[in-house]
Protein backbone atom coordinates (compact mmCIF):
# COMPACT_ATOMS: atom_id res chain seq x y z
CA UNK A 1 0.00 0.00 0.00
CA UNK A 2 0.98 3.63 -0.27
CA UNK A 3 -0.66 6.83 0.88
CA UNK A 4 -1.65 9.82 -1.24
CA UNK A 5 0.13 12.90 0.01
CA UNK A 6 -3.15 14.81 -0.29
CA UNK A 7 -5.28 13.61 2.65
CA UNK A 8 -9.06 13.17 2.36
CA UNK A 9 -9.45 16.37 4.39
CA UNK A 10 -7.32 18.66 6.56
CA UNK A 11 -8.44 17.54 10.01
CA UNK A 12 -9.26 14.25 11.70
CA UNK A 13 -11.92 15.01 14.28
CA UNK A 14 -14.67 12.98 15.96
CA UNK A 15 -13.47 9.78 14.31
CA UNK A 16 -13.19 10.94 10.70
CA UNK A 17 -11.82 13.42 8.21
CA UNK A 18 -13.36 16.89 8.35
CA UNK A 19 -12.81 19.94 6.16
CA UNK A 20 -13.58 23.60 6.49
CA UNK A 21 -12.25 25.53 3.52
CA UNK A 22 -12.86 28.80 5.36
CA UNK A 23 -9.54 28.18 7.16
CA UNK A 24 -6.39 29.78 5.69
CA UNK A 25 -4.59 27.56 3.21
CA UNK A 26 -1.52 25.53 4.19
CA UNK A 27 0.71 24.42 1.30
CA UNK A 28 2.65 21.25 2.06
CA UNK A 29 5.99 21.21 0.29
CA UNK A 30 8.31 18.30 -0.42
CA UNK A 31 11.66 19.62 0.79
CA UNK A 32 13.76 17.71 -1.74
CA UNK A 33 12.14 19.42 -4.74
CA UNK A 34 10.09 22.35 -3.49
CA UNK A 35 6.98 20.81 -5.11
CA UNK A 36 3.59 21.32 -3.49
CA UNK A 37 2.36 17.85 -2.46
CA UNK A 38 -0.84 18.78 -0.59
CA UNK A 39 -3.07 21.72 0.21
CA UNK A 40 -4.74 21.87 3.60
CA UNK A 41 -6.68 24.43 5.59
CA UNK A 42 -6.11 25.76 9.07
CA UNK A 43 -8.72 24.81 11.64
CA UNK A 44 -11.50 27.34 12.05
CA UNK A 45 -13.23 27.95 15.38
CA UNK A 46 -15.90 25.46 14.25
CA UNK A 47 -13.31 22.70 13.78
CA UNK A 48 -11.64 23.44 17.12
CA UNK A 49 -15.03 23.35 18.86
CA UNK A 50 -15.93 20.05 17.19
CA UNK A 51 -12.61 18.60 18.35
CA UNK A 52 -13.14 19.82 21.91
CA UNK A 53 -16.67 18.46 22.22
CA UNK A 54 -15.88 15.09 20.67
CA UNK A 55 -12.70 14.69 22.72
CA UNK A 56 -14.52 15.40 25.98
CA UNK A 57 -17.24 12.88 25.12
CA UNK A 58 -14.73 10.23 24.04
CA UNK A 59 -12.63 10.74 27.15
CA UNK A 60 -15.53 9.77 29.41
CA UNK A 61 -16.13 6.55 27.49
CA UNK A 62 -12.41 5.76 27.36
CA UNK A 63 -11.73 6.45 31.04
CA UNK A 64 -14.59 4.12 31.99
CA UNK A 65 -12.86 1.21 30.25
CA UNK A 66 -10.35 -0.94 32.10
CA UNK A 67 -6.66 -0.30 31.61
CA UNK A 68 -6.28 -3.69 29.95
CA UNK A 69 -8.99 -2.80 27.42
CA UNK A 70 -7.34 0.52 26.65
CA UNK A 71 -3.98 -1.17 26.35
CA UNK A 72 -5.33 -3.65 23.82
CA UNK A 73 -6.39 -0.79 21.54
CA UNK A 74 -2.98 0.86 21.77
CA UNK A 75 -1.15 -2.39 21.07
CA UNK A 76 -3.41 -3.07 18.08
CA UNK A 77 -2.53 0.40 16.78
CA UNK A 78 1.16 -0.44 17.23
CA UNK A 79 0.69 -3.59 15.15
CA UNK A 80 -1.12 -1.68 12.38
CA UNK A 81 1.66 0.92 12.30
CA UNK A 82 4.28 -1.80 11.96
CA UNK A 83 2.31 -3.50 9.16
CA UNK A 84 2.15 -0.18 7.30
CA UNK A 85 5.67 0.94 8.15
CA UNK A 86 6.73 1.39 4.53
CA UNK A 87 3.73 3.48 3.52
CA UNK A 88 4.00 5.60 6.66
CA UNK A 89 7.75 6.03 6.17
CA UNK A 90 7.26 7.13 2.56
CA UNK A 91 4.73 9.70 3.68
CA UNK A 92 7.08 10.91 6.43
CA UNK A 93 9.85 11.28 3.85
CA UNK A 94 7.59 13.26 1.50
CA UNK A 95 6.49 15.48 4.39
CA UNK A 96 9.88 16.09 6.07
CA UNK A 97 12.48 15.29 3.37
CA UNK A 98 14.28 12.88 5.72
CA UNK A 99 15.80 9.94 3.80
CA UNK A 100 13.61 6.86 3.50
CA UNK A 101 16.65 4.94 4.75
CA UNK A 102 16.08 6.75 8.09
CA UNK A 103 12.31 6.94 8.23
CA UNK A 104 11.96 3.18 7.61
CA UNK A 105 13.65 2.53 10.96
CA UNK A 106 13.23 5.66 13.08
CA UNK A 107 9.80 7.24 12.83
CA UNK A 108 6.70 5.07 12.58
CA UNK A 109 8.80 2.33 14.21
CA UNK A 110 9.46 4.53 17.24
CA UNK A 111 5.79 5.54 17.32
CA UNK A 112 4.77 1.87 17.35
CA UNK A 113 7.22 1.21 20.19
CA UNK A 114 5.55 3.94 22.26
CA UNK A 115 2.04 2.62 21.61
CA UNK A 116 3.13 -0.91 22.43
CA UNK A 117 5.00 0.10 25.59
CA UNK A 118 2.25 2.30 27.03
CA UNK A 119 -0.37 -0.19 25.83
CA UNK A 120 1.43 -2.73 28.01
CA UNK A 121 1.56 -0.36 30.96
CA UNK A 122 -2.11 0.68 30.76
CA UNK A 123 -3.33 -2.35 32.68
CA UNK A 124 -0.72 -1.91 35.40
CA UNK A 125 -1.53 1.65 36.45
CA UNK A 126 -2.68 1.71 40.04
CA UNK A 127 -2.79 3.82 43.14
CA UNK A 128 -1.61 2.54 46.51
CA UNK A 129 -2.99 1.44 49.83
CA UNK A 130 -1.74 3.20 52.98
CA UNK A 131 -2.53 1.58 56.32
CA UNK A 132 -2.98 4.15 59.14
CA UNK A 133 -3.49 2.05 62.28
CA UNK A 134 -7.11 0.97 62.14
CA UNK A 135 -7.92 3.53 59.49
CA UNK A 136 -6.52 3.61 56.02
CA UNK A 137 -6.12 5.66 52.93
CA UNK A 138 -5.77 4.85 49.31
CA UNK A 139 -4.86 6.71 46.15
CA UNK A 140 -6.54 6.47 42.79
CA UNK A 141 -4.51 7.22 39.68
CA UNK A 142 -6.88 9.21 37.51
CA UNK A 143 -6.59 10.77 34.07
CA UNK A 144 -6.17 14.52 33.70
CA UNK A 145 -8.95 14.79 31.10
CA UNK A 146 -8.40 16.52 27.78
CA UNK A 147 -4.75 16.95 26.75
CA UNK A 148 -3.40 19.08 23.93
CA UNK A 149 -0.31 17.98 22.02
CA UNK A 150 1.61 20.42 19.83
CA UNK A 151 4.37 19.12 17.60
CA UNK A 152 7.54 20.37 15.91
CA UNK A 153 8.24 19.51 12.28
CA UNK A 154 11.22 17.21 12.58
CA UNK A 155 9.55 13.97 13.77
CA UNK A 156 5.83 14.33 13.04
CA UNK A 157 4.81 10.67 13.47
CA UNK A 158 7.05 10.02 16.45
CA UNK A 159 6.03 13.17 18.30
CA UNK A 160 2.31 12.43 17.79
CA UNK A 161 2.79 8.89 19.15
CA UNK A 162 5.12 9.84 22.02
CA UNK A 163 2.42 12.22 23.25
CA UNK A 164 -0.67 10.16 22.42
CA UNK A 165 0.54 6.82 23.81
CA UNK A 166 1.05 7.78 27.48
CA UNK A 167 -1.88 10.22 27.40
CA UNK A 168 -4.32 7.60 26.13
CA UNK A 169 -2.88 4.83 28.31
CA UNK A 170 -3.79 6.93 31.36
CA UNK A 171 -7.38 7.43 30.15
CA UNK A 172 -7.08 10.93 28.66
CA UNK A 173 -8.22 12.20 25.27
CA UNK A 174 -5.96 14.29 23.05
CA UNK A 175 -6.20 17.02 20.44
CA UNK A 176 -2.95 17.17 18.51
CA UNK A 177 -1.79 20.08 16.40
CA UNK A 178 1.11 19.18 14.12
CA UNK A 179 3.53 21.79 12.89
CA UNK A 180 2.02 23.46 9.86
CA UNK A 181 5.26 22.57 8.01
CA UNK A 182 4.66 18.79 8.35
CA UNK A 183 0.92 18.23 8.84
CA UNK A 184 0.39 14.89 7.06
CA UNK A 185 1.63 12.04 9.26
CA UNK A 186 -0.34 12.66 12.47
CA UNK A 187 -3.53 12.23 10.42
CA UNK A 188 -2.49 8.62 9.73
CA UNK A 189 -1.89 8.01 13.44
CA UNK A 190 -5.43 9.24 14.10
CA UNK A 191 -6.86 6.99 11.37
CA UNK A 192 -5.03 3.96 12.73
CA UNK A 193 -6.13 4.55 16.32
CA UNK A 194 -9.78 4.55 15.21
CA UNK A 195 -9.20 1.39 13.17
CA UNK A 196 -7.64 -0.19 16.27
CA UNK A 197 -10.81 0.49 18.26
CA UNK A 198 -10.32 3.89 19.89
CA UNK A 199 -13.61 5.72 20.41
CA UNK A 200 -14.33 8.43 17.83
CA UNK A 201 -12.92 11.71 19.10
CA UNK A 202 -10.35 10.22 21.44
CA UNK A 203 -7.39 11.40 19.33
CA UNK A 204 -8.08 14.35 17.07
CA UNK A 205 -5.74 16.16 14.70
CA UNK A 206 -6.38 19.80 13.89
CA UNK A 207 -4.15 21.77 11.55
CA UNK A 208 -2.98 25.30 11.95
CA UNK A 209 -0.32 27.78 12.86
CA UNK A 210 0.35 29.43 16.22
CA UNK A 211 -3.13 30.95 16.45
CA UNK A 212 -4.78 27.53 16.44
CA UNK A 213 -2.22 26.24 18.94
CA UNK A 214 -2.93 29.19 21.16
CA UNK A 215 -6.73 28.64 20.95
CA UNK A 216 -6.21 25.06 22.12
CA UNK A 217 -3.82 25.95 24.93
CA UNK A 218 -6.04 28.66 26.40
CA UNK A 219 -9.33 26.73 26.27
CA UNK A 220 -10.51 26.19 29.86
CA UNK A 221 -11.67 22.65 29.02
CA UNK A 222 -8.06 21.59 28.42
CA UNK A 223 -6.24 20.09 31.41
CA UNK A 224 -2.74 19.60 30.02
CA UNK A 225 -0.48 20.87 27.28
CA UNK A 226 2.48 18.94 25.88
CA UNK A 227 4.66 20.89 23.47
CA UNK A 228 7.66 19.89 21.40
CA UNK A 229 9.20 23.02 19.97
CA UNK A 230 11.67 25.82 20.44
CA UNK A 231 12.41 27.65 23.70
CA UNK A 232 10.69 30.92 22.64
CA UNK A 233 7.50 29.01 21.73
CA UNK A 234 7.82 27.01 24.94
CA UNK A 235 7.93 30.18 26.98
CA UNK A 236 4.76 31.49 25.33
CA UNK A 237 2.85 28.22 25.59
CA UNK A 238 3.96 27.64 29.19
CA UNK A 239 2.79 31.15 30.15
CA UNK A 240 -0.58 30.63 28.46
CA UNK A 241 -1.02 27.28 30.21
CA UNK A 242 -0.03 28.81 33.55
CA UNK A 243 -2.95 31.23 33.36
CA UNK A 244 -5.26 28.22 33.57
CA UNK A 245 -3.01 26.33 36.05
CA UNK A 246 -2.69 23.54 33.50
CA UNK A 247 -0.09 20.77 33.65
CA UNK A 248 2.62 21.00 31.02
CA UNK A 249 5.28 18.92 29.38
CA UNK A 250 7.82 21.02 27.47
CA UNK A 251 10.29 19.32 25.14
CA UNK A 252 12.34 22.23 23.89
CA UNK A 253 15.61 22.99 22.17
CA UNK A 254 19.22 22.33 23.03
CA UNK A 255 22.88 23.00 22.30
CA UNK A 256 24.19 19.84 23.80
CA UNK A 257 27.82 18.96 24.52
CA UNK A 258 29.45 15.80 23.21
CA UNK A 259 32.78 15.32 25.00
CA UNK A 260 35.51 13.16 23.47
CA UNK A 261 38.48 12.28 25.69
CA UNK A 262 41.86 11.29 24.27
CA UNK A 263 41.43 7.66 25.31
CA UNK A 264 38.16 7.25 23.40
CA UNK A 265 37.77 4.80 20.55
CA UNK A 266 38.11 7.32 17.76
CA UNK A 267 35.87 5.45 15.30
CA UNK A 268 33.07 5.25 17.87
CA UNK A 269 33.50 8.90 18.81
CA UNK A 270 33.41 10.00 15.17
CA UNK A 271 30.38 7.76 14.61
CA UNK A 272 28.62 9.30 17.61
CA UNK A 273 29.42 12.81 16.41
CA UNK A 274 28.07 11.99 12.94
CA UNK A 275 24.84 10.55 14.35
CA UNK A 276 24.54 13.42 16.81
CA UNK A 277 24.95 16.12 14.16
CA UNK A 278 23.95 14.90 10.73
CA UNK A 279 21.16 12.33 11.16
CA UNK A 280 17.94 13.94 9.91
CA UNK A 281 20.24 16.62 8.46
CA UNK A 282 20.88 17.82 11.99
CA UNK A 283 17.25 18.64 12.75
CA UNK A 284 17.17 16.87 16.12
CA UNK A 285 16.68 18.69 19.41
CA UNK A 286 19.05 16.49 21.42
CA UNK A 287 21.96 16.75 18.97
CA UNK A 288 25.48 17.06 20.39
CA UNK A 289 26.37 20.14 18.38
CA UNK A 290 29.20 21.32 20.63
CA UNK A 291 31.77 18.59 20.13
CA UNK A 292 34.55 19.08 22.69
CA UNK A 293 37.62 17.06 21.66
CA UNK A 294 40.62 16.71 23.96
CA UNK A 295 43.64 18.33 22.32
CA UNK A 296 45.73 15.20 21.79
CA UNK A 297 43.00 13.56 19.71
CA UNK A 298 41.77 16.64 17.89
CA UNK A 299 43.65 16.26 14.56
CA UNK A 300 43.02 12.54 14.24
CA UNK A 301 39.36 13.05 15.10
CA UNK A 302 38.93 15.76 12.46
CA UNK A 303 40.78 13.74 9.83
CA UNK A 304 38.60 10.66 10.34
CA UNK A 305 35.47 12.79 10.48
CA UNK A 306 36.27 14.41 7.13
CA UNK A 307 37.09 11.01 5.61
CA UNK A 308 33.87 9.43 6.83
CA UNK A 309 31.78 12.36 5.65
CA UNK A 310 32.85 11.46 2.13
CA UNK A 311 30.40 8.59 2.58
CA UNK A 312 27.47 11.03 2.58
CA UNK A 313 25.03 10.27 -0.23
CA UNK A 314 22.88 13.32 -0.78
CA UNK A 315 19.94 13.20 -3.17
CA UNK A 316 16.34 12.09 -3.61
CA UNK A 317 15.37 11.00 -0.09
CA UNK A 318 12.95 8.41 -1.53
CA UNK A 319 15.98 6.55 -2.90
CA UNK A 320 17.01 4.11 -0.18
CA UNK A 321 20.69 4.53 -1.09
CA UNK A 322 20.51 8.19 -0.04
CA UNK A 323 21.58 8.84 3.56
CA UNK A 324 21.41 12.62 3.76
CA UNK A 325 18.33 14.67 2.91
CA UNK A 326 17.36 18.32 2.64
CA UNK A 327 16.30 20.64 5.43
CA UNK A 328 12.59 20.85 6.01
CA UNK A 329 11.96 24.24 4.40
CA UNK A 330 13.53 27.09 2.50
CA UNK A 331 13.32 29.18 5.67
CA UNK A 332 15.25 26.59 7.66
CA UNK A 333 17.87 26.29 4.90
CA UNK A 334 18.33 30.06 4.85
CA UNK A 335 18.62 30.17 8.63
CA UNK A 336 21.28 27.45 8.62
CA UNK A 337 23.24 29.08 5.79
CA UNK A 338 23.09 32.33 7.76
CA UNK A 339 24.70 30.57 10.74
CA UNK A 340 27.42 29.10 8.50
CA UNK A 341 28.25 32.62 7.27
CA UNK A 342 28.28 33.82 10.87
CA UNK A 343 30.70 31.02 11.79
CA UNK A 344 33.04 32.00 8.97
CA UNK A 345 32.81 35.63 10.01
CA UNK A 346 33.63 34.72 13.61
CA UNK A 347 36.86 33.05 12.50
CA UNK A 348 35.91 29.39 12.93
CA UNK A 349 37.88 27.09 10.59
CA UNK A 350 35.76 25.34 7.96
CA UNK A 351 36.80 21.69 7.78
CA UNK A 352 34.19 20.57 5.26
CA UNK A 353 30.83 21.53 3.78
CA UNK A 354 29.67 25.09 4.18
CA UNK A 355 27.38 25.49 1.18
CA UNK A 356 23.74 25.19 0.27
CA UNK A 357 23.26 22.98 -2.76
CA UNK A 358 21.74 24.80 -5.75
CA UNK A 359 18.45 23.49 -7.14
CA UNK A 360 14.84 23.23 -6.08
CA UNK A 361 15.46 21.32 -2.84
CA UNK A 362 16.59 22.70 0.49
CA UNK A 363 19.92 20.86 0.80
CA UNK A 364 22.85 22.11 2.85
CA UNK A 365 26.13 20.18 2.91
CA UNK A 366 27.14 18.56 6.20
CA UNK A 367 29.36 21.23 7.68
CA UNK A 368 32.14 20.97 10.27
CA UNK A 369 33.81 23.92 11.93
CA UNK A 370 36.98 23.47 14.01
CA UNK A 371 38.75 25.95 16.32
CA UNK A 372 35.36 27.05 17.61
CA UNK A 373 35.45 28.97 20.88
CA UNK A 374 32.77 29.19 23.55
CA UNK A 375 31.73 32.76 22.84
CA UNK A 376 31.01 32.27 19.14
CA UNK A 377 27.38 32.44 18.06
CA UNK A 378 27.69 29.03 16.38
CA UNK A 379 28.69 27.58 19.77
CA UNK A 380 25.80 29.21 21.62
CA UNK A 381 22.69 29.16 19.40
CA UNK A 382 20.69 26.11 18.44
CA UNK A 383 21.15 26.00 14.65
CA UNK A 384 18.91 22.96 13.97
CA UNK A 385 20.78 21.95 10.84
CA UNK A 386 23.88 20.00 9.74
CA UNK A 387 26.49 22.22 11.38
CA UNK A 388 28.96 20.73 13.85
CA UNK A 389 31.14 22.94 16.03
CA UNK A 390 34.36 21.28 17.24
CA UNK A 391 35.97 22.87 20.30
CA UNK A 392 39.30 21.92 21.91
CA UNK A 393 39.79 21.21 25.60
CA UNK A 394 42.58 20.04 27.89
CA UNK A 395 41.20 19.05 31.32
CA UNK A 396 38.13 17.29 32.64
CA UNK A 397 37.15 20.07 35.08
CA UNK A 398 37.50 22.65 32.37
CA UNK A 399 35.34 20.79 29.86
CA UNK A 400 32.60 20.11 32.39
CA UNK A 401 32.46 23.80 33.31
CA UNK A 402 32.37 24.86 29.66
CA UNK A 403 29.83 22.20 28.69
CA UNK A 404 27.50 23.45 31.42
CA UNK A 405 27.87 27.12 30.46
CA UNK A 406 24.65 27.23 28.43
CA UNK A 407 21.01 28.02 29.13
CA UNK A 408 20.06 24.64 27.62
CA UNK A 409 20.20 21.24 29.31
CA UNK A 410 18.63 18.68 27.03
CA UNK A 411 21.38 16.14 26.32
CA UNK A 412 25.06 15.36 26.80
CA UNK A 413 27.43 12.63 25.69
CA UNK A 414 30.85 11.38 26.75
CA UNK A 415 33.24 9.17 24.82
CA UNK A 416 36.04 7.60 26.89
CA UNK A 417 37.35 4.14 27.74
CA UNK A 418 37.69 5.21 31.39
CA UNK A 419 34.29 4.25 32.75
CA UNK A 420 34.82 5.83 36.17
CA UNK A 421 35.48 9.13 34.42
CA UNK A 422 32.49 8.62 32.12
CA UNK A 423 30.08 8.28 35.05
CA UNK A 424 31.75 11.10 37.01
CA UNK A 425 31.52 13.51 34.08
CA UNK A 426 27.91 12.58 33.30
CA UNK A 427 27.10 13.08 36.99
CA UNK A 428 28.44 16.63 36.77
CA UNK A 429 26.71 17.64 33.53
CA UNK A 430 23.43 19.56 33.69
CA UNK A 431 21.44 17.64 31.09
CA UNK A 432 18.34 15.46 31.21
CA UNK A 433 19.19 12.81 28.62
CA UNK A 434 22.78 11.55 28.56
CA UNK A 435 24.87 9.03 26.64
CA UNK A 436 28.10 7.18 27.41
CA UNK A 437 30.01 5.95 24.35
CA UNK A 438 26.88 6.48 22.30
CA UNK A 439 24.75 9.35 21.07
CA UNK A 440 21.02 9.96 20.53
CA UNK A 441 19.73 6.51 21.43
CA UNK A 442 16.15 7.09 22.55
CA UNK A 443 14.43 3.81 23.43
CA UNK A 444 10.90 4.21 24.75
CA UNK A 445 11.91 2.46 27.99
CA UNK A 446 14.21 5.40 28.90
CA UNK A 447 12.87 8.78 30.07
CA UNK A 448 13.55 11.61 27.61
CA UNK A 449 13.58 15.30 28.41
CA UNK A 450 15.56 18.35 29.37
CA UNK A 451 16.84 20.35 32.32
CA UNK A 452 17.12 24.15 32.51
CA UNK A 453 15.59 25.91 29.48
CA UNK A 454 15.32 22.66 27.54
CA UNK A 455 12.17 21.57 29.19
CA UNK A 456 9.80 20.49 31.90
CA UNK A 457 8.63 16.93 32.47
CA UNK A 458 9.69 13.73 30.76
CA UNK A 459 8.42 11.74 27.81
CA UNK A 460 8.63 7.96 27.50
CA UNK A 461 9.21 5.30 30.18
CA UNK A 462 7.18 5.05 33.38
CA UNK A 463 8.15 8.65 34.11
CA UNK A 464 5.66 9.86 31.48
CA UNK A 465 2.77 8.32 33.44
CA UNK A 466 3.25 10.88 36.22
CA UNK A 467 2.86 13.64 33.65
CA UNK A 468 -0.41 12.32 32.20
CA UNK A 469 -2.22 11.26 35.36
CA UNK A 470 -3.05 12.67 38.77
CA UNK A 471 -3.52 11.10 42.17
CA UNK A 472 -6.67 11.33 44.22
CA UNK A 473 -6.15 10.56 47.91
CA UNK A 474 -8.99 8.99 49.86
CA UNK A 475 -8.95 8.74 53.69
CA UNK A 476 -11.18 6.01 55.10
CA UNK A 477 -12.15 6.11 58.80
CA UNK A 478 -13.21 2.72 60.10
CA UNK A 479 -14.49 3.86 63.53
CA UNK A 480 -16.65 6.61 64.95
CA UNK A 481 -15.97 10.26 64.13
CA UNK A 482 -14.91 12.14 67.27
CA UNK A 483 -15.95 15.78 66.92
CA UNK A 484 -15.30 18.34 69.73
CA UNK A 485 -18.92 19.43 69.89
Nearest partner of 414 among 398, 429, 432, judged by Cα: 429
Cβ at position 327, least distance to ligand NDP in Å? 11
CB of 76 to ligand NDP, least distance (A): 27
- From the CB of 470, what's the least distance to ligand NDP, in Å? 23
Of 177 and 333, the one with the shorter C-beta distance to ligand NDP is: 177
Smallest separation (angstroms) from ligand NDP to the CB of 216: 7
> Quick one: how far is CA 225 from the chain centroid?
14
Torsion of CA 182, 432, 444, 125, to 10 degrees: -110
Q: Please report how close the Cβ of residue 383 comes to ligand NDP at its closest, in angstroms.
A: 10
| Inter-CA distances, 212 with 52, 108, 252, 312, Å | 13, 26, 19, 39
Q: What pairs with residue 28 in β-bridges? A: 38
- Residue of 98, 163, 177, 255 marked catalytic: 163
Q: Which of 48, 283, 265 is nearest to 153 (CA)?
A: 283
Residues 256, 290 contacting (CB under 8 angstroms): yes
Judged by beta carbon, residue 206 or residue 291, the one nearer ligand NDP is 206
Among residues 150 and 187, whose Cβ is nearest to ligand NDP?
150
| CB hemisphere CA count around 321 (13 angstroms) | 3
Cβ at position 385, least distance to ligand NDP in Å = 11
**Nearest to 155, CA basis, from 207, 83, 93, 209:** 93
Tell me whether residue 214 or residue 470 sits nearer to ligand NDP (CB atom).
214
Largest CA distance in the chain: 86
Inter-CA distances, 192 with 16, 50, 84, 182, 236, Å: 11, 20, 10, 18, 32
Min CB(249)–ligand NDP separation in Å: 10
| CB-CB contact of 208 with 25 (8 Å) | no
Q: Is 251 a catalytic residue?
A: yes
CB of 143 to ligand NDP, least distance (A): 22
CA 341 to CA 315: how far, in whole Å?
Answer: 24
Nearest approach in angstroms of CB 155 to ligand NDP is: 6
Judged by beta carbon, residue 331 or residue 474, the one nearer ligand NDP is: 331
Return the exposure string of 454-475: e unless at least 16 CB atoms fall within 10 Å of the residue's CB, then b. bbbbbbbbeebbebbbbeeeee
User: Is 459 an active-site residue?
Assistant: yes
What's the rounded Cα separation, in Å, for the pair 363 and 404? 32
Nearer Cβ to ligand NDP, position 220 or 479?
A: 220
Q: From CA 87, how far away is CA 250, in angstroms rounded?
A: 30
Which residue minimizes CB distance to ligand NDP? 213
Residue closer to ligand NDP by CB (options 326, 450) is 450
Residue 219 near residue 177 (C-beta atoms within 8 A): no
- Sequence-separated (6 or more) residues with CB below 8 Å from residue 25: 39, 40, 41, 42
- Given a contact cutoff of 8 angstroms between Cβ atoms, the answer to whether 158 and 107 are in contact is yes
Least separation in angstroms between residue 241's CB and ligand NDP is 10
Distance CA(110)–CA(35), nearest Å, equals 28
For ligand NDP, give the closer residue by CB, 182 or 365. 182
- Of residues 150 and 222, the one with the C-beta less far from ligand NDP: 150
Residue 163 annotated to the active site: yes
Residues in touch with ligand NDP (CB under 6 A): 150-154, 177, 179-181, 209-210, 213-214, 217, 227-230, 233, 236-237, 251-254, 285, 382, 384, 410, 450, 455
Q: Could you tell me which residues are beta bridge partners of residue 459?
A: 448
Q: Are 13 and 201 in contact (CB under 8 A)?
A: yes
* Residue 255 DSSP class: -
Distance CA 351, CA 359 (A): 24
| Catalytic residue flag (residue 185) | no
Closest CA to 224 of 142, 116, 313: 142
Catalytic residue selected from 251, 352, 382, 434: 251
Q: Which residues are catalytic?
A: 163, 251, 285, 459
Amino acid sequence: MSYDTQPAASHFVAGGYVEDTAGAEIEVIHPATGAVIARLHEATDRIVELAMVSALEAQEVWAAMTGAERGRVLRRAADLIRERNRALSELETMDTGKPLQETLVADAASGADALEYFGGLAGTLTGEHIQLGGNWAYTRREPLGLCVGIGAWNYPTQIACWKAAPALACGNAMIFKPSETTPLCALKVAEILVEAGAPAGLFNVVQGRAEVGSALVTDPRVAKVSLTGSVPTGRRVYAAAAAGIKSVTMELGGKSPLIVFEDADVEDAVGGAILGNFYSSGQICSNGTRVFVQKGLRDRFLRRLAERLEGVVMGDPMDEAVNFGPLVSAAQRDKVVGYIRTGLGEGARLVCGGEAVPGGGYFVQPTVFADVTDGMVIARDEIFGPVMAVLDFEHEDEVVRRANATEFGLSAGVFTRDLARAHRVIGNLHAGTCFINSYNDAPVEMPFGGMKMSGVGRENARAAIDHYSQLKSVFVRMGAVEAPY
